[in-house]
Amino acid sequence: MSLLSDLVNLNLSDSTEKIIAEYIWIGGSGMDIRSKARTLSGPVSDPAKLPKWNYDGSSTGQAPGEDSEVILYPQAIFRDPFRRGNNILVICDTYTPAGVPIPTNKRCAAAKIFSHPDVVAEIPWYGLEQEYTLLQKDVKWPLGWPLGGYPGPQGPYYCGIGVDKAFGRDIVDAHYKACLYAGINISGINGEVMPGQWEFQVGPSVGISSGDELWAARYILERITEVAGVVLSFDPKPIQGDWNGAGAHTNYSTKSMRNEGGYEIIKKAIEKLGLRHKEHIAAYGEGNERRLTGRHETADINTFKWGVANRGASIRVGRDTEKEGKGYFEDRRPASNMDPYIVTSMIAETTILWKP
Amino acid sequence: MAQILAPCSQWQMRIARNSAPASPMTAKMWSSLVLKQNKKGTAKSSAKFRVFAVKSENGTINRMEDLLNLDLTPYTDSFIAEYIWIGGSGIDLRSKSRTISKPVEDPSELPKWNYDGSSTGQAPGDDSEVILYPQAIFKDPFRGGNNILVMCDTYTPQGEPIPTNKRHRAAEIFSNKKVVDEVPWFGIEQEYTLLQTNVKWPLGWPVGGYPGPQGPYYCAAGADKSFGRDISDAHYKACLYAGVNISGTNGEVMPGQWEYQVGPSVGIDAGDHIWISRYILERITEQAGVVLSLDPKPIEGDWNGAGCHTNYSTKSMREDGGFEVIKKAILNLSLRHKDHISAYGEGNERRLTGKHETASINTFSWGVANRGCSIRVGRETEKQGKGYLEDRRPASNMDPYVVTALLAETTILYEPSLEAEALAAQKLSLNV
C-alpha cells in the first residue's frame, strides 16, 4: 500500500519538465462532469497555448456513434491539488469538428453575452453559494442519518459542531484548502440547516470566470467525495418532508450598483427580473419545483417577490446595501443543480441588455 | 486506549505539519498523538462508523489527509478565518469560515460578518440577519498554518446586542473603572462528560449496565479506570497551540468525566478562552466519534455531577490583608445567592443536592478546604492571609461571561445596606 501512495505523490519536477493536464468538460446531462489526462511538454499558464483535444461523444450522450468526435477547447487553467507540482486542471467547453458549440455547451453563449460592450462596461460581479448533500454510498441515504430512520429535526445543525450535528466535515475542509491551492476564488464554507448538507461560496468573480470557477470547484468536490467513499448529490430536494432543499443562491452586482445611487439601479434590475420570472425559473435547474415551495426559507416557484433581509423571498437585498444606498442583491431562486454559465449570463442579460 | 474508545476504529488529529510561523509543536510530537488503527477490530466496527471514516472505498490510499494538512503558505497570502458564535440556546456553538486576503494583528481589523439567525432561533425569517462582531483571535489547531479561530458576539443590524449575547454586558462591567483597578483574575475548572454516540451512555460504561462505584477513577490510569484520555490530551495541546490559557487537566470522580482548567485570565478574557476551549473540545470529540455533554447531572444516582468551579481574586485579595477582603466578598455573595444561582446554569438543581461534593442549592455556605460548601477558601489563602476564593456553585453548562461578570459586580460594585451586612455576618459567623 505504501508503494502505491509513494507513486501517486511522486514529485516529478526533479525528473522531467513534462506536466500532466487534466481536461475537464460537462457531459450530456448538463450536470455530469467528465475528465481525462494528457502529458504536455512543459508548464503552461495560458489556456490559449494549450492544444485543443477531442473525446468520444457517443459515450457521453453528446454525439452519434458514426461521427463521435467532440472537440475540447481549453478555457481556464487551475493548479491540480491532487497531483500538485506543475500539473494542472483545464476547464474546457465542447464543439463539433466544424467549430459549432454542441447543444450542451452553455459556456459559448454566456461568453458572448459577457463580451457585449454594455456588459463589459458594467463589470458584473458574482458570488455563488453552492449547497450540496452528502449521501452514504450504497443506500443513498444522507451521511450520518440512521438507516431506516431519521435524525432529530432541523435546528441544531446549521453551522453546528459535534459528532451528532456535523456529518462529513473532513470533506468540506479538504475541499476548502484544495480550492484555495487550485487558485479558485473560494470565499467561505458553512454547515447547512439539513444534517449532512453543506455549502461553499465562490466569488466575487467577474463575468465568465464565475462559471469556470464553480465548475472547477464542483469537479474538485466530487474527486474528494470519491476518495472519501461518499456520494455527492446536487439534487435540489434530496429528502421530502420537513427538510431544507439545496440551492445555489446567486449574489450579483454591477459597477452602477456598487457606486453612489446604486440602490435605485438595484431596484430597477429587480423589477426587470420580475418581468422575466418564468424564463429565469425555466433555466434555474431541473426539479426546482420540489424545492421552491414557499417553506424552508424559499419563495413559492410561481411567485416573484423581493425584500430586505427576507429569506422567504425570490430576491433578497442585504441590510447593509439598503443602509448604504449601494451594494448587491441575492437571487435565491437557482437550484443547487443549476448551470452557472446559464444563470450568470441570464442575470446579466436581463438586467443590462434587455429592454421590457 | 483504542479498545476503550469502544466503537471507534479510526480517528486522527488534523494538525499542522511544519507550520511556517514558529510553533512549539513539531511533526514528531503530533504524530505520537495519532491513534493507531486497531487492525483486529477493524472489519466489524468500521461498518458502523464508515460514515465518519476518512478512507477510500477500495481501501488503497487516503489522499484527503494530504489535503486537510496542506500548508497553503507557499501558494497564497490568503488564510481561513473560522468565525465562532453562541446560538439560540445559549450553550450551542456555531461556526462558519471565510477567506481573508491579508494578515491581521487585531480582531478590530477583521470584517464584521452576518449569519442566518432564523436557523439558530435568534431572528425571524423575514428579518433574519444577525451581525457578528469579531472579539478575540486564536490560532486554528485543525487547519494549522496562518489560519485562525475568531470568537464573536452577536448584534442586530442596528447595533443592539441580541438577547442571547451575554458578552456585551460583561464587557461593560469589566470596563467599569472600579473593576479595572481591581484587576479581577479568574481560574475556571470546566468539567465535562463523554458519551458514546447512538446510545448517549457514558464512554467506557457497559451498555445496559453500570461500571463499579466511584472511587478508583479520579486522576487514575488504566483501561478499566480511564476512558477517553486521548480526547483530553489532544484538547490540551490543541488549546496551548491555539493560545488558550489552559492551565491543567485531570480525570474526574465519575468514570468518563474529565476536567480542564483555564486561567488565570483577566476580566473578559476568561469568558473568551472558555468558549474557544469548548469549541475546540467539541471539534475534537466530533472527530473522535464521541458525544460531548455539558449537562450538570448526566447520570442520576450515586454519580458525581459536572460543575464549572470558578476561582476568583482581585488585587486587594491578593495583597496583604487580602483575607479580610475575601471575607467581605463572601458576605456580599451570600446576600445575592438567589441571583447568582439563577444565572449559574440550567438544571443545576439536579446537581446541587448537598451530596457528591456540592452544597445544597438553597443554602449558602463557605469554609476552608470544605468541598461541601458553596464557596471554598484554600488552606494556603487562610495561612498567608491573602489569595483567592473558589465559587463551587456554577454548573458545567454555565455561561462564563455571565458568571465572571456577576462575581465582579457583586464583590466590587454592589453595596449592601449596613443592616443586611450585619445580619449576614452573623449568619455566616464572619467577623468582618
- The three cell numbers of residue A45 are 499558464
Instruction: Report which of B5, B2, B4, B8 is spatially closest to residue B51, judged by C-alpha positions.
Output: B8
Report the pLDDT value the prediction gives residue B44, as an integer from 0 to 100.
31
If asked whether residues B227 and B142 sit together in one domain, one would say no
Instruction: Tell me the mean pLDDT in the region B404-422.
Output: 94
User: Which among A175, A190, A230 has the least Cβ separation from residue B96?
Assistant: A190
Q: Determine what percent of chain A is predicted with pLDDT higher than 90.
A: 87
Instruction: Name which CATH class applies to A3-104.
Output: alpha beta
Residues of B with CB below 8 A from A309's CB? Answer: 126-129, 157
Least confident piece of the model among A151-155, A252-256, A307-311, B137-141? A307-311
C-alpha to C-alpha distance for A355 and A350, rounded to whole angstroms: 8
Report the pLDDT value the prediction gives residue B39, as an integer from 0 to 100.
33
Report the pLDDT value the prediction gives residue B128, as an integer from 0 to 100.
86
C-alpha to C-alpha distance for B200 and A300, rounded to whole angstroms: 40
Instruction: Tell me the mean pLDDT in the region A225-238.
Output: 94
Taking all residues of chain B, what is their mean pLDDT, rounded to a whole number? 86
Model confidence band, residue A3 (pLDDT cutoffs 50, 70, 90): confident
Residues of A with CB below 8 A from B99's CB? Answer: 180, 186-188
If asked whether residues B102 and B180 sit together in one domain, one would say no
Instruction: Tell me the mean pLDDT in the region B347-351.
Output: 95
Instruction: Tell me the mean pLDDT in the region A176-204.
Output: 97
Report the pLDDT value the prediction gives residue A258, as an integer from 0 to 100.
97
- Of B113, B131, B164, which residue sits at a domain end? B164
d(CA A5, nearest CA chain B) in Å: 6
Instruction: Tell me the mean pLDDT in the region A290-319.
Output: 90
Whether residue A5 and residue B127 make contact (CB cut-off 8 A), yes or no, is: no
Nearest-Cα residue of chain A relative to residue B14: A170
Report the pLDDT value the prediction gives residue B200, as an integer from 0 to 100.
86
User: Which among B99, B129, B290 has the least Cβ separation from residue A163?
Assistant: B290
Whether residue B60 and residue A224 make contact (CB cut-off 8 A), yes or no, is: no
Within 8 A by CB and 6+ apart from B417, the residues are none
Q: Cell 438543581 sits at which residue? A: B349
pLDDT digits (tens, 9 = 90+) for A56-85: 999 999 998 888 999 999 999 999 999 999
Looking at chain A, list the stretches that DSSP marks H as alpha helix, in order from N- to C-terminal side.
2-8, 107-115, 117-122, 169-182, 209-228, 255-258, 262-275, 277-283, 288-291, 319-324, 340-348
- The three cell numbers of residue A115 are 463580451
Strands (DSSP E) found in B109-235: 113-116, 129-139, 148-155, 185-196
- Beta carbons of B267 and B185 less than 8 angstroms apart: no
- Of B102, B137, B164, which residue sits at a domain end? B164
Q: What are the φ and ψ backbone dihedral angles of A84, each rounded to 5 degrees?
A: 50, -150
Instruction: Report which of B63, B412, B344 is spatially closest to residue A229, judged by C-alpha positions.
Output: B63
**Is pLDDT at B11 greater than 90 in this prediction?**
no
If asked whether residues B269 and B156 sit together in one domain, one would say no
In a domain, B90, yes or no: yes
Report the pLDDT value the prediction gives residue B61, as an integer from 0 to 100.
58
In a domain, B55, yes or no: no
If asked whether residues B156 and B252 sit together in one domain, one would say no
Report the pLDDT value the prediction gives residue B329, as an integer from 0 to 100.
96
Taking the alpha carbons at both ends of chain A, their separation in whole angstroms is: 64
- Beta carbons of A47 and A90 less than 8 angstroms apart: yes
Model confidence band, residue A311 (pLDDT cutoffs 50, 70, 90): confident
**How many CB atoms are located within 10 Å of the residue A39 CB?**
10
**Is pLDDT at B7 greater than 50 in this prediction?**
no
Whether residue B97 and residue A323 make contact (CB cut-off 8 A), yes or no, is: no
Whether residue A312 and residue B292 make contact (CB cut-off 8 A), yes or no, is: no
Residues of B with CB below 8 A from A323's CB? Answer: 157
Instruction: Tell me the mean pLDDT in the region B77-92.
Output: 96
Instruction: Tell me the mean pLDDT in the region A222-251.
Output: 95
Model confidence band, residue A1 (pLDDT cutoffs 50, 70, 90): low
Instruction: Report which of B242, B191, B204, B185 is spatially closest to residue B390, judged by C-alpha positions.
Output: B185
In a domain, B32, yes or no: no
Instruction: Tell me the mean pLDDT in the region A331-341.
Output: 97
Report the pLDDT value the prediction gives residue B273, as an integer from 0 to 100.
98
Instruction: Tell me the mean pLDDT in the region B419-427.
Output: 88
If asked whether residues B220 and B107 sit together in one domain, one would say no
Burial of A161: CB neighbours in 10 Å, binned 0-12, 13-18, 19+: buried
Report the pLDDT value the prediction gives residue A309, as an integer from 0 to 100.
84
Residue A88 CA to chain centroid, in angstroms?
A: 19
Model confidence band, residue B4 (pLDDT cutoffs 50, 70, 90): very low
If asked whether residues B179 and B158 sit together in one domain, one would say no
C-alpha to C-alpha distance for A356 and B228, rounded to whole angstroms: 67
Instruction: Tell me the mean pLDDT in the region A208-230.
Output: 96
Report the pLDDT value the prediction gives residue B16, as an integer from 0 to 100.
27
Report the pLDDT value the prediction gives residue B271, as an integer from 0 to 100.
98
Looking up residue B194, the CATH number of its domain turns out to be 3.30.590.10
pLDDT digits (tens, 9 = 90+) for B356-405: 888 889 999 999 988 889 999 999 999 999 999 999 999 999 999 999 99
Report the pLDDT value the prediction gives residue B64, as an integer from 0 to 100.
84
d(CA A206, nearest CA chain B) in Å: 18
User: Which among B14, B55, B282 has the least Cβ separation from residue A161?
Assistant: B282
Report the pLDDT value the prediction gives residue B331, as an integer from 0 to 100.
95
C-alpha to C-alpha distance for B104 and B109, rounded to whole angstroms: 6
Model confidence band, residue B431 (pLDDT cutoffs 50, 70, 90): low
- Beta carbons of B394 and B165 less than 8 angstroms apart: no
Looking at B9-133, list the stretches that DSSP marks H as alpha helix, in order from N- to C-terminal side.
27-31, 42-49, 64-68
Whether residue B118 and residue A144 make contact (CB cut-off 8 A), yes or no, is: no
In a domain, B186, yes or no: yes
Report the pLDDT value the prediction gives residue B66, as an integer from 0 to 100.
86
If asked whether residues B231 and B261 sit together in one domain, one would say yes
Domain of residue B115, residue span: 69-164
If asked whether residues B160 and B183 sit together in one domain, one would say no
C-alpha to C-alpha distance for B342 and B358, rounded to whole angstroms: 16
Model confidence band, residue B32 (pLDDT cutoffs 50, 70, 90): very low
Report the pLDDT value the prediction gives residue B62, as an integer from 0 to 100.
67
If asked whether residues B338 and B272 sit together in one domain, one would say yes
Whether residue A169 and residue B286 make contact (CB cut-off 8 A), yes or no, is: yes
Q: Determine what percent of chain A is predicted with pLDDT higher than 70.
A: 99
Instruction: Tell me the mean pLDDT in the region B229-247.
Output: 95
**Is pLDDT at B46 greater than 80 in this prediction?**
no
Residue A315: which H helix or E strand, with range? strand A315-317
Whether residue B67 and residue A174 make contact (CB cut-off 8 A), yes or no, is: yes
Instruction: Tell me the mean pLDDT in the region B320-342.
Output: 96
C-alpha to C-alpha distance for B381 and B412, rounded to whole angstroms: 20
Please report, for residues A25, A332, B344, the alpha-carbon distance to residue A336 in angstroms, rounded to integers and kept in the order given.
19, 11, 44
Q: In the A/B pair of chains, how many CB contacts fall below 8 A?
A: 155
Report the pLDDT value the prediction gives residue A195, as an integer from 0 to 100.
96
**Is pLDDT at B298 greater than 90 in this prediction?**
yes
Residues of B with CB below 8 A from A312's CB? Answer: 125-126
If asked whether residues B134 and B158 sit together in one domain, one would say yes
Q: Work out how many domains chain B is built from and give that number.
A: 2
Model confidence band, residue A43 (pLDDT cutoffs 50, 70, 90): very high
Residues of B with CB below 8 A from A162's CB? Answer: 282, 285-286, 291-292
**Is pLDDT at B261 greater than 80 in this prediction?**
yes
- Of B164, B193, B212, which residue sits at a domain end? B164
Q: For chain A, which residues make up each domain, given as ranges? A: 3-104, 115-353
**Is pLDDT at B58 greater than 70 in this prediction?**
no
In a domain, B51, yes or no: no
If asked whether residues B217 and B334 sit together in one domain, one would say yes
Q: What are the φ and ψ backbone dihedral angles of B78, each rounded to 5 degrees?
A: -70, 150
**Is pLDDT at A162 greater than 80 in this prediction?**
yes
- Beta carbons of A202 and A216 less than 8 angstroms apart: no
**Is pLDDT at B2 greater than 60 in this prediction?**
no
Instruction: Tell me the mean pLDDT in the region A316-321.
Output: 91
If asked whether residues B98 and B207 sit together in one domain, one would say no
Q: Cell 488504566 sits at which residue? A: B222
Amino acid at site A13: S
> pTM (2 decimals)?
0.84
Multiple choice CATH, A115-353, 3.40.50.300, 3.20.20.60, 3.30.590.10, 3.60.10.10 = 3.30.590.10
pLDDT digits (tens, 9 = 90+) for A129-152: 999 999 999 898 999 999 989 999
Residues of A with CB below 8 A from B143's CB? Answer: 173, 177
- Interface test mutation site (partner B, options A13, A159, A193, A319, max chain B beta carbons within 10 A): A159
Looking up residue B99, the CATH number of its domain turns out to be 3.10.20.70
- Beta carbons of A212 and A203 less than 8 angstroms apart: no
Nearest-Cα residue of chain A relative to residue B288: A163
- Interface test mutation site (partner A, options B63, B93, B192, max chain A beta carbons within 10 A): B63
Please report, for residues B312, B331, B342, B388, B417, the alpha-carbon distance to residue B424 in angstroms, rounded to integers and kept in the order given.
21, 6, 20, 21, 11
Report the pLDDT value the prediction gives residue A10, as an integer from 0 to 100.
85
